[in-house]
Amino acid sequence: MNGKQSPRNGRTAYHFQPAKNWMNDPNGPLYHKGMYHMFFQYNPHGPTFGTGKLSWGHSVSGDLVNWAFLGTALDPTSPFDAEGCWSGSATTLADGRPAILYTGRDASGVQVQNVAFPKNPSDPLLREWRKPPGCNPVVPQPGDVTGNNFRDPTTAWLGRDGLWRFAVAAEVGGVGSTLVYRSKDFVRWERGSAPLHASPDVPVWECPDLFPVAERGAEGLDTSARGGAGVRHVLKLSKAADEDYYVVGRYDDEADTFAPVEGVFDWRRIDHGHLFGAKTFFDARRRRRVLWAWVDETDDGVDKGWRGIQTFPRALWLDADGRQLVQWPVEEIETLRKGRAALAGAVVGAGGLREIAGVDALQADVEVVFEVPESLDDAEELDPEWLQHDPHKLRACAEKKASSPGPRGGVGPFGLVVMASGDMREQTTVFFQVLRHGGTYKVLMCADLTRSSTKEGVHKPFYAGFVDVDVEKDRGISLRTLIDHSVVESFGGGGRTCITARVYPEHVAAGGSSHLYLFNNGAHPVTVSKIEAWELGTASVNVEQDDRADPL
């Protein structure tokens, strides 16, 4: 960087990204006739958001790892989307045809909801889409919407009355709302009498998602699965230009109401790091629910000719507690594994650093299980403020700062040092700290990016979240981290807490090698009962092709 491009033009090795130009929200991920489809907000004219006249980019895959770009599926060509084809979703209709609902910014800049269908539903690649004449917008902007905030329709679902429904984010009288619309034919829609959710505290929500989850087990459910015994629902909302939150509850498709578990809106973060606009779909091939999310650049990105990636796809399911989601990289990532390093029973002393060698630390999948000490008497007391809001958690991580070596006392911080230069001037740390809270213990998970790059002007924050694990009972905590050149995705406690980070180490941009370490800055040695690290190969992701007749 520093005005120069890296040998790979800054590209990641296995994360979804465009061959060139701007990308943001994932839209309408879909499994259809043996192929996975990813649609995404895309500027085909350059690596910036530009004027907002976005299209839908379209890529296909047979395995969720390797992707071929098919061009654009939707472009701003009509009066109802002349200023941009914005975010939306894809739905598989009862006859097997897919349909797209999306927000169009019309010629006057007003946000409206539109529909599109494939020109040839039997084409497994779904290369061409049509906007049926005379139908759009299928939902004009209602008169009570304020601030022109009316966007991002969800995947639709069928109620027991045989009517399709979708939800859409709207600002109604200054209140952030999630409206529900019903239709018999997917073209004529009527608004429900009450919003699915409304909050005056957040006037603008974006990218809603409503989907069912099984109360037991990891199997995913189709979006039309109804509530009742064995089924709960997750409502996910993105706080505009901020973070993604979700709550687990029950959805009633007769009244179109959503009630959180035990009546409490216990909002949780999808990820405590740097991602936005998460979108899920039901993978009928593997019977699982899969999540994508947009990870923006934190440098300018323009000199690379492209901007934006997606998280590696994650399978998700409901934890045994019934209140939180578990997220885990889809198993197809294992097809990229090659070199492997393994170690069991390693001990990292107080203030210690131990290298994990034998794999390429720029493209790696690392799983570690840390054992906590038999005695937790030295655990530091948790400041009650740290439980309240993210800024306080970030302050907690700053106080436990792991990027400076040496023991500090307490149980932790211990974890991984990734993307480290040979002289350790550049490094990113992902770590845990066990803290005393009343008569029990809480685990804080942090990512420290303050020394991730020596480049000026790059965002280098702390990220933090608590992990719901019982360390007294389990006597340990797991960490899985995916490393891919400029992105680090970490999953704590088996995927209960996730942190995604963008990092831009100069030694990588210059073509240098990176190092990977275990570290422990706690007062006592930490035993690592399991270490498995795999070097990962490079996937084929949206490389430019001259011949698109057979993209895969």
Provide mean pLDDT across the span 307-327.
96
pLDDT digits (tens, 9 = 90+) for 104-150: 999 999 999 999 999 999 999 999 999 998 999 999 999 999 999 99
> Residue 1: pLDDT band by 50, 70, 90 thresholds?
very low
Angle, alpha carbons 479-30-82 (nearest 5°): 115
Kindly calculate the radius of gyration of the chain based on its CA atoms and give it in whole angstroms: 23
List all residues 6 or more positions away from 2 whose beta carbon is below 8 Å from its beta carbon.
Answer: 455, 506, 509
pLDDT digits (tens, 9 = 90+) for 467-484: 999 998 999 999 999 999
Asked if residue 151 lies in contact with residue 164, where contact means CB atoms within 8 angstroms, the answer is no
Residue 90 pLDDT greater than 90, yes or no: yes
pTM for this one?
A: 0.94
Phi–psi pair at 83, nearest 5 degrees: -100, 10
Residue 403 pLDDT greater than 90, yes or no: no
For the beta carbon of residue 52, count every other beta carbon within 10 angstroms. 13
pLDDT given at position 3? 32
Of the listed ranges 167-176, 383-392, 409-418, the one predicted with least confidence: 383-392
Establish whether domains 21-329 and 338-536 are of one fold. no
Of the listed ranges 64-78, 361-375, 393-407, the one predicted with least confidence: 393-407
Provide mean pLDDT across the span 410-422.
94
CA distance 166 to 170: 13
Provide mean pLDDT across the span 282-308.
91
Q: Provide the strand spans (E) within 460-544.
A: 462-467, 476-484, 487-492, 497-502, 515-520, 526-536
Spatial CA neighbour of 104 closest among 95, 113, 96: 113
Q: Determine the topology of domain 338-536 in CATH.
A: Jelly Rolls (2.60.120)
Provide mean pLDDT across the span 454-478.
92
> Residue 281: pLDDT band by 50, 70, 90 thresholds?
very high
Residue 64 pLDDT greater than 90, yes or no: yes
Provide mean pLDDT across the span 333-340.
95
Greater confidence, 52 or 393? 52
Residue 142 has which token pair? Answer: 């209602």
pLDDT given at position 5? 34
CA distance 210 to 212: 7
For the beta carbon of residue 175, count every other beta carbon within 10 angstroms. 15
pLDDT digits (tens, 9 = 90+) for 164-186: 999 999 999 999 999 999 999 99
pLDDT given at position 391? 57
Q: How do the domains of the chain map onto residue ranges?
A: 21-329, 338-536
Greater confidence, 491 or 345? 491
pLDDT given at position 392? 58
144 catalytically annotated: no
Q: Read out DSSP for 132-182?
A: -TTT--SBPPPTTEEEEEEE-PPPPEE-TTS-EEEEEEEEETTEEEEEEEE
What is the distance in angstroms between the CA of the first residue and the CA of the last residue of the chain? 32
- In a 13 Å sphere around the CA of 424, the CA atoms on its Cβ side amount to 10
> Residue 405: pLDDT band by 50, 70, 90 thresholds?
low
Residue that is written with structure tokens 């275990």 in the block: 518
pLDDT given at position 324? 95
Determine what percent of the chain is predicted with pLDDT higher than 70: 93
pLDDT digits (tens, 9 = 90+) for 204-253: 999 999 999 999 999 999 999 988 889 999 999 999 777 999 999 999 99
| Residue from 25, 256, 360, 448 carrying the catalytic annotation | 25
Residue 96 pLDDT greater than 60, yes or no: yes
> Residue 191: pLDDT band by 50, 70, 90 thresholds?
very high
The CATH architecture that domain 21-329 belongs to is 5 Propeller (2.115)
Greater confidence, 472 or 311? 311
